[in-house]
Amino acid sequence: MNQLDFPILSLMMGLPMLAAIICLFLNAQAARLLALATTLALFVLGVVLWINYDIGGPQWQYVERAELFGNFAWALGIDGISMMLIMLTVFLMPICIGASWEAIQERVGEYMSAFLFMEVLMIGVFAAQDLFLFYILFEAGLIPMYLIIGIWGGANRIYASYKFFLYTLLGSVVMLIAMLWMVQEAGTSDIPTLLNYDFDPAAQTWLWLAFFASFAVKMPMWPVHTWLPDAHVQAPTAGSVILAGVLLKMGGYGFLRFSIPMFPEASEQFIWLIFVLSMVAVVYTSLVALVQQDMKKLIAYSSVAHMAIVTLGLFAFNRQGIEGAIIVMLSHGLVSGALFLCVGVIYDRLHTREISRYGGLSINMPKYALLFMLFTMASVGLPGTSGFVGEFLSLVGLYKVNSWVTLVATTGIILGAGYMLYLYRRVAFGELVHEDVKAMPDLSKREMALLAPIAAAVMWMGVYPESFLAPIRGDVGTLVARIDRAAPEGDAHLKMGSAEAVTEQKLSSADGESH
């Protein structure tokens, strides 16, 4: 069956499902404890998954399959990419529960239940091997997030949850239709089979656009990003963490798992669209982030800019670009999650996200200031942190395809430094002017326990990313080999000057190893 001889992926979905149901009937403290215990247990299972993952082994591991009805199957299995995203999920989940420990006091059982249910869906999305199973889990992810914003959110939560819902649902309807057509055409809903099915290029165009409608919103790409700032602002801290940390990765995962390998010709055909939207996103949302007065909005806008690097890397069609994009997804999951936690820490103390209400926190909250600085630097992509590795690889890959786009996208490192340091300065530097800010205590042990593991992971990924690159190497290789036939030619057109070698060296964007 698989290397562990028991259905670990089903267990990882069943366990939180069970806990989610039990939570509904527990009192507040019991629900908290159960949720924490469950998410920690899942983290342990995630580690088991990682340790036993056979790098260089079969593409799909931990495979399990149960036929349900028709050709709809409970089919699970993961490759390295899925595994890293599942790791991200199970790593962030206990932190989310911890972040809600004191902040959530109403309807705690339901809240914990919603989070656990969300975990079921997120693991399922990354593990699903059946197209419809994927679809149901992918779309159902809306519900708990929607409830989390709508019930435990801020003052304007209804508008935010409505906007969130409207955006994400609209895209999903067309994707469903496209999936139905695909299943009819290919005769199967099995994802590994579909990954190697060559659809007619003319049909690919429409299928690609249908999937794009859904993934672009989830990503989110400009101009369908406006739900994100509102959703973040209204969501409770843990909701923001999971939204930025994992839900945003579903769009990128969708492109990676479906759009690019299943429709390579169409992906190539629409490169210009991805490039244009992503370039606009980098510059536009970075500038918008610069003028924000609400901390969460600022970080939300910065997320849009970072996600644009992901799409650019993915659509570079080469190994560096795609590996970089995956590392950006993982890194952004950690860093933006941590930044939202940082906002939550001071929000819990002062109950405002307005940047100008703070200032001088380095004086009375030095530990906080240090960690906030670390995550700020990771966000601006300082080498040695996770942010750099992904950004660098994505842009290296992108440069092979188009130097203009790379030039524009790389301005993100200037603008990113601008808005993040400007934020940091207003929050942590300067004099302590407000009395209530002066009275804020430094990080508690609980808060330290939430942020320190993320800090460690961010440094680990920055200094020794090999741990994270090794599991995905084979899968990216498979993907690059699959899409090589559609890979665009680079715009460099290097031409040798010396007389004996006037042959134009065609720089295929796919690198040597994939051939």
Partner 1 sequence: MSIQLIVFLPLLAAIVAGFGNRIIGNVPAKLVTTGALFISCALSWPIFLSFVSGNAVEQVVPVLTWVQSGDLDFSWALRVDTLTAVMLVVVTTVSALVHLYSWGYMDEDPDQPRFFAYLSLFTFAMLMLVTADNLVQMFFGWEGVGLASYLLIGFWFKKPTANAAAIKAFVVNRVGDLGFMLGIFGTFLVFGTVSIPEILEAAPGMAGSTITFAGMRWDTMTILCLLLFIGAMGKSAQLGLHTWLPDAMEGPTPVSALIHAATMVTAGVFMVCRLSPMFETSEVALAVVTIVGACTAIFAATVGLVQNDIKRVIAYSTCSQLGYMFFAAGVGAYGPAMFHLFTHAFFKALLFLGAGSVIHAMHHEQDMRYYGGLRKQIPLTFWAMMAGTLAITGVGILGVFGFAGFYSKDMIIESAFASGTATGQFAFFIGVLAALLTSFYSWRLMFLTFWGTPRWIQSEHIQHSVHKTPEEAGEDQTGGYHPHESPPSMLIPLGLLSIGAVFAGFLYYYPFTGAVEGAAFWGDSIAFNVGLMEAAREVPLWVKLASTVAMLTGLGVAFLMYFRGQDRPARLAATFEPLYKFFFNKWYFDELYDLIFVRPAFWFGWIFWKRGDEGTIDRFGPNGVAGLVATGSGVAKRFQSGFLYTYALVMLLGLAAAATWIIVRGAGA
Sites for partner 1 among residues 4-63 (CB under 8 A): none
Exactly one of 41, 287, 350, 448 binds partner 1 (CB under 8 A); which one?
287
Minimum CB separation from partner 1 for residue 223, in Å?
Answer: 5
- In sequence order, which residues have a C-beta less than 8 Å from that of residue 316 and are 6 or more positions away? 322, 394, 397, 398, 400, 401, 509
362 is a site residue for partner 1 (CB under 8 A): yes
Q: How far apart are CA 330 and CA 469, in angstroms?
A: 11
291 is a site residue for partner 1 (CB under 8 A): yes
Q: How far apart are CA 121 and CA 119, in angstroms?
A: 5
Q: Which stretch binds partner 1 (CB under 8 A): 54-62, 119-127, 338-346, 389-397?
A: 389-397
Q: How far apart are CA 350 and CA 136, in angstroms?
A: 40
289 is a site residue for partner 1 (CB under 8 A): yes
Minimum CB separation from partner 1 for residue 36, in Å?
Answer: 26
Q: Which stretch binds partner 1 (CB under 8 A): 35-43, 68-76, 438-446, 450-458?
A: 68-76
- In sequence order, which residues have a C-beta less than 8 Å from that of residue 426 and are 6 or more positions away? 355, 356, 358, 359
Exactly one of 161, 234, 303, 379 binds partner 1 (CB under 8 A); which one?
161
389 is a site residue for partner 1 (CB under 8 A): yes
441 is a site residue for partner 1 (CB under 8 A): no
Q: Phi, psi at residue 504, to the nearest 5°?
A: -75, 125
Binding to partner 1 by CB under 8 A, coded x per residue (else -) over 95-124, reads ------------------------------
Within 468-487, the residues that bind partner 1 by CB under 8 A are 469, 473
- 265 within 8 A of 317, measured Cβ to Cβ: no
410 is a site residue for partner 1 (CB under 8 A): yes
Exactly one of 16, 220, 360, 387 binds partner 1 (CB under 8 A); which one?
360
Within 165-224, the residues that bind partner 1 by CB under 8 A are 165-167, 169, 172-173, 176, 180, 183-184, 189, 223-224
Q: Which residues pair with 61 in a beta bridge?
A: 78
Which tokens hold the place of 389? Answer: 């590795």
Q: How far apart are the first and last CA of the chain?
A: 31
Q: How far apart are CA 78 and CA 126, in angstroms?
A: 7
Within 242-281, the residues that bind partner 1 by CB under 8 A are none
Residue closer to partner 1, measured from CB, 11 or 287: 287
Exactly one of 384, 439, 446, 506 binds partner 1 (CB under 8 A); which one?
384
Which tokens hold the place of 450? Answer: 């939430």
136 is a site residue for partner 1 (CB under 8 A): yes
Q: Which stretch binds partner 1 (CB under 8 A): 100-108, 159-167, 201-209, 247-255?
A: 159-167
- 319 within 8 A of 394, measured Cβ to Cβ: no
Residue closer to partner 1, measured from CB, 241 or 289: 289
Q: How many CA atoms lie within 13 A of 194 on its CB side?
A: 25
Within 363-382, the residues that bind partner 1 by CB under 8 A are 363, 377, 382
465 is a site residue for partner 1 (CB under 8 A): yes
Is residue 441 exposed (0-12), middle (13-18) or buried (19+ Cβ within 10 Å)? exposed
495 is a site residue for partner 1 (CB under 8 A): yes
Minimum CB separation from partner 1 for residue 210, in Å?
Answer: 14
147 is a site residue for partner 1 (CB under 8 A): yes
Minimum CB separation from partner 1 for residue 294, in Å?
Answer: 11
Q: How many CB atoms lie under 10 A from the CB of residue 284?
A: 18
Helix (H) or strand (E) holding 435: helix 435-438
Residue closer to partner 1, measured from CB, 38 or 189: 189
Q: How far apart are CA 345 and CA 258, in angstroms?
A: 38
Q: How many CA atoms lie within 13 A of 394 on its CB side?
A: 32
Minimum CB separation from partner 1 for residue 302, in Å?
Answer: 12
Minimum CB separation from partner 1 for residue 500, in Å?
Answer: 11
| Sign, CA torsion 113/115/118/120 | negative
135 is a site residue for partner 1 (CB under 8 A): yes
129 is a site residue for partner 1 (CB under 8 A): no
Minimum CB separation from partner 1 for residue 38, in Å?
Answer: 23
Residue closer to partner 1, measured from CB, 333 or 490: 490
463 is a site residue for partner 1 (CB under 8 A): yes
Can you say how many angstroms the Cα of residue 25 is from the centroid of all Cα atoms in its chain? 32
DSSP 485: G
Q: How far apart are CA 469 and CA 324, in angstroms?
A: 9
- 8 within 8 A of 45, measured Cβ to Cβ: yes
Within 213-232, the residues that bind partner 1 by CB under 8 A are 223-224, 226-227, 229
- 3-class secondary structure, 76: strand
